[in-house]
Structure formats: C-alpha cells, structure tokens
Structure 1
Amino acid sequence: MLLREVTGSIADFHARPVPDDLAEAEVWSFRPDHPALVLGSAQDHTVADAAATAAAGIDVVRRRSGGGAVHVDPARSVWLDVVVPRGDPRWSDDVRASAYWLGEVWQRALVTLGLDAELYRGGLEQTPWGRLVCFAALGPGEVLVGGRKAVGISQRRTRAGARFQCIAYDRWDPYDVLDLVTMTDDDRRRAGADLVDRATGVGPRLGELRAAVESALRAA
C-alpha cells in the first residue's frame, strides 16, 4: 500500500477525487494547515454557525463522504484517508463490512499504545444527535476505547473505488463541534450532556498513533 504525505488546505484535500486509474491502494496521510469544521456530504453550509466559525477563525468545508460534522484541529487530531480501488483484495461490495479491515488496523495500532480498543461491527447507529455530529453515533468498522468511540470512519464509493476517511482525537470535547453549529442554546446544552461520554480521545500520543497506523497499513 502506497503512503502519500499530504499537506495544504482542508478544502483542497476534500476536493480530491478517487483516481479512475488507481493501480493500488493508497494511504493519504493528511496534515492540514488550518483548523476547520468539516461537514458531511448530506449537510449544507447552514449547519455551520457563520458567526461562530468566523469568530473562531474556523474554515467550513464539506466532504464527499457521509456522516455528521467533524472538528479538525491539526494539533489535536490524526486524519488519514485510505483509497481502495475495485479489484483490490480489501474491496468489498458489502458497504457495512467494507470498513472492518480498516477498523482492525486502527484497533491493532491502538492496542500497541496500550489502549483497550474494540471494533464495532453493528449497523449505523440512530441517535438523537448522530446526523449532526459524527462522534455522536457509531458506524460499521469504527473503533471504541473503553466502550467509547475513538476512531471515526466515513466512506465515499465511486465506480473507481472507495475512499475511507478516518479521524482520531487527543481528547473528546463535544463543544468543539457544538459551539460551531447552528442550534438553540437549550439544544446545545442537551447535546453536550448527552455526548460528553459518547466518545473519547487517545491522549497526547497522536504522533505515535499516526506512525503505528501508517506502519500497519503499509503491511496490510
């Protein structure tokens, strides 16, 4: 599996297509140059609170994969994309099962850091805030630590292949997202209380985690 180091703006990164002529699976190890609120493909820009994102100096970007909003801070997260062409041994026509192998890679990497990680093999969770916030619900292939979501994985499938987008945080704070989206103050308080224990971070070892995941992916 080919590893590509990618820098630059989050907008340019998310605009990258799945190449039609992709010869082998690739890992796009992305190091963004600026924080952003990344919306899912089914969310429009009205989900973001324009005044709040402007005041925080946060870019608003829409990705092509599904799921809820994600806060991306270069100093506090690890973002990796994995692109798999059709015909690759890791390809699966089963959308639900297609991310299991990738979740297992993240699981092994987290275990090497001494974390109690497990793979989620259920269907897409339907939760009160799941359509709004990515880490408010679990999807197939995602990874939990101590029973809480630690790695988010979304995917976009085309005729050429699949692009899996993955993120993990050093710590989980639901208000990183909630303070940037359009909602009433009452809903924000309710969501914050509901989501504070739904997810978790991996601690201050993001560099080790990135290296462990990249190594495992190259060997996968």
Structure 2
Amino acid sequence: MSGSRSWAIETFASDARSLHAAELPAHRGLWLMNPTRPAFVLGSSQDEGDIDGGFCSAHGIDVVRRRSGGGAVHVDSAASVWIDIVIPRDDALWVDDVGRAMHFVGLAWRQMLVDFGMSGTVVNEGPHAANDWSKTLCVAGRGAGEVFRVSGAKVVGISQRRTRDFARFQCIAYHAWDITAHLGAIPLLNGDPERAATLVATMPAVEPADLVVALASALPTH
C-alpha cells in the first residue's frame, strides 16, 4: 500500500467481473483497477441486447455487469485507466445529494489533467443530462461531476455506488478510443459512426501508477 496525504492507494488486477464485485474497505482510498481482459461493463439494469455478444466473444471481450446504473463502459488496460475512489459515510467529503457528491471527484481529475498538460476541460457541476445514446453507452451522456472538453467530448466518466457504509466513485478515462470495438459491440452506434468517433477526448498517455498518485494529491483532504 502507498498513499498521498490522507488517501491510501491500492492496486487490484483481475477480470472486470471480479473488479466490480470486489468489496472494498469503507475508508478513504483510491483503487487502481487493472482488468486482465478487455470487457464491456453493463449498467445494473441495462438490457443485455444492447451489446453484440457474438462480436465480443469472437474478439476476446468479456461482457459483465456492475452494480451502479448507466450505460455500458469499455474497460481495457491497453486503452484506458480505471480508478475507484472510496469515502466512508462519516467522511468530511460526504454529500447526501448524489449528484453534487461527485463534484469533488471531477474537480480533482481536472486539476490532475492540468498538471499533466491537458487544459481546456470543464467539470459538469449541473445535473445529469441524458440523450438518445446514454442509456446504452455511458460516455454518451453528461453525468454530474464528469470532465469534458469544451466541445462536449468526455474525458472522464464517473459512476457512483452507495451502501450504508461508503460511496464508491468509479472513474474511467481513455488514452486511446477504440472506435472499432465500440462499433462492433454496440449496434446502436452504427447509425452514426462519426458521432461515435467524437464522443471521447483522450487524455495524455501517463503511467497508471503515476496517474493514481497524482490524482490522490489533487483530491481534497477535508
């Protein structure tokens, strides 16, 4: 275990199903999640028919489900960085409002990206904004606390899972946007492949271990 200021840092490598199912301890911490196989992760109530299982099977992509809501998320250690942030219910950073609770996470990501040379981003401090694709693909929507380019392309996606004891903020950012995998796995996107290609703005290529330490330094302590 390593840490920065009051934030513990852990690394967990496994398949995406196990990473999502992991019961993380209810204390302040960042978990660098390293999926050992690429996967599309469905939201808790998402229709499995949104994903072409045959394409995924043929290309070695798992299809799993998470406990938080929203559309599908592609995780691949070769193209993305996945970090979970946990705070206990009695933490000074806890906010009862589910939307506003994610603002500090997005603001920390934005500051960390500036430190790595990526400016011109904004944090959505307003409500969640859905559209015709967002129930199918998470990056298509505009969630509270998420980070975007001014153009509207998403840089950091965030979902939240709450229990009686803690909040778990699951964050995803891409340093490569695999449009081929998305078009192959999600039939809906083929209606407008040009739109699909511009949904995401990639972040600088930074070693995940360096990135999680920098994010811990950008997070508030109180």
Q: TM-score, normalised by structure 2?
A: 0.87
Of the three residues 143, 162, 171, the one matched with 2:176 is 171
SS in structure 2 at match of 1:98: helix
State the partner residue of 2:3.
none
Task: For 2:216 and 2:144, locate their aligned partners in 1 and report how far apart those are by CA, in whole Å.
Answer: 21
State the partner residue of 1:190.
191
Q: Once the two structures are superposed, what CA deviation does each residue of 1:44-93 show, in whole Å capped at 9, x if it has no partner?
A: 43332121011111111111112111111111111000111101011110
The answer to whether the Cα contact below 8 Å between 2:133 and 2:140 also exists between their aligned partners in 1 is: yes
Q: Provide the aligned length of Structure 1 versus Structure 2.
A: 213
Note the C-alpha offset of 1:120: 1.0
Q: Once the two structures are superposed, what CA deviation does each residue of 1:96-131 show, in whole Å capped at 9, x if it has no partner?
A: 100001111101100011112221112111211011
The answer to whether the Cα contact below 8 Å between 1:18 and 1:160 also exists between their aligned partners in 2 is: no
Of the three residues 13, 18, 32, the one matched with 1:12 is 18
Note the C-alpha offset of 1:18: 5.0
Task: For 2:150 and 2:207, locate their aligned partners in 1 and report how far apart those are by CA, in whole Å.
Answer: 18
Of the three residues 105, 122, 128, the one matched with 1:118 is 122
The answer to whether the Cα contact below 8 Å between 2:8 and 2:29 also exists between their aligned partners in 1 is: yes
Task: For 2:189 and 2:168, locate their aligned partners in 1 and report how far apart those are by CA, in whole Å.
Answer: 31
Residues 154 and 8 (structure 1 numbering): CA distance in 2 closer, same or farther, change over 3 Å?
same
Kindly indicate whether residue 214 of structure 2 is the aligned counterpart of residue 212 of structure 1.
yes
Of the three residues 42, 45, 48, the one matched with 1:39 is 42
CA RMSD across the alignment: 2.0
Task: For 2:155 and 2:178, locate their aligned partners in 1 and report how far apart those are by CA, in whole Å.
Answer: 12
Note the C-alpha offset of 1:33: 1.0
Task: For 2:220 and 2:181, locate their aligned partners in 1 and report how far apart those are by CA, in whole Å.
Answer: 32
Within 5 Å, which residues of 2 pair with 1:58-137? 58-116=61-119, 117-137=121-141
Note the C-alpha offset of 1:17: 3.1
Residues 68 and 51 (structure 1 numbering): CA distance in 2 closer, same or farther, change over 3 Å?
same
Residues 191 and 124 (structure 1 numbering): CA distance in 2 closer, same or farther, change over 3 Å?
farther
Give the partner amino acid of 1:15.
Answer: A
Residues 146 and 172 (structure 1 numbering): CA distance in 2 closer, same or farther, change over 3 Å?
farther
State the partner residue of 2:32.
29
The answer to whether the Cα contact below 8 Å between 2:80 and 2:175 also exists between their aligned partners in 1 is: yes
Of the three residues 160, 167, 172, the one matched with 1:162 is 167
SS in structure 1 at match of 2:32: strand
- Which runs of 5 or more structure 2 residues have no equivalent in the other structure? 1-6
Task: For 2:207 and 2:174, locate their aligned partners in 1 and report how far apart those are by CA, in whole Å.
Answer: 8
The answer to whether the Cα contact below 8 Å between 2:79 and 2:177 also exists between their aligned partners in 1 is: no
The answer to whether the Cα contact below 8 Å between 1:81 and 1:165 also exists between their aligned partners in 2 is: yes
SS in structure 2 at match of 1:91: coil
The answer to whether the Cα contact below 8 Å between 2:159 and 2:171 also exists between their aligned partners in 1 is: yes
Task: For 1:68 and 1:136, locate their aligned partners in 2 and report how far apart those are by CA, in whole Å.
Answer: 9
Give the partner amino acid of 2:218.
Answer: A
Note the C-alpha offset of 1:146: 4.2
